[in-house]
Chain A
Amino acid sequence: GQQVMQIPQYQHVQEGEDFTTYCNSSTTLSNIQWYKQRPGGHPVFLIQLVKSGEVKKQKRLTFQFGEAKKNSSLHITATQTTDVGTYFCAGTDLGAGSYQLTFGKGTKLSVIP
């Protein structure tokens, strides 16, 4: 079945440093979504990428979808304490005949003030 690997599992950064989390899929994805879950909270949708090589920005967050549509990354520039949480990627593989999301294991970001 489809697998989505995400690294690193944990990342501790000093406030102001950059942060990147990476996702790799065992199959070609139809799209990839990113979610953020604050401690004690629930996943909140951040963005969706659909096109090969797509890059999208949201303020300090930059999302990329690989050319082969098998990998993706989320980069945060100059982290702030409000960025703390777990970031999940989640992919859909219509080629597998399924439209549900397969979540990566998440990257837990801690920001040291």
Chain B
Amino acid sequence: GQSLEQPSEVTAVEGAIVQINCTYQTSGFYGLSWYQQHDGGAPTFLSYNALDGLEETGRFSSFLSRSDSYGYLLLQELQMKDSASYFCAVQGSQGNLIFGKGTKLSVKP
């Protein structure tokens, strides 16, 4: 089967750095994605890692270690607008996405 584990909630203050971890178990692995979803909104794509290492996109970075079946999303210089749910997702062998249950990030002033 396939499953992903990520923390259910994380709280941080404005300007801080936060890391959201994701561990996965899959029968086939083709990449780890991250999506952001604000309350009442649709999920939007943040990043994708197919190979080990760090991918940086502005204030957001995503890391993957395939040997550890582990990845994380790093958010730097947190802003209030970053308050949202963040989902890791694994692309299975047939191309469909399997999502984790999401991490609700609350950014406090």
Are A and B genuine complex partners?
no
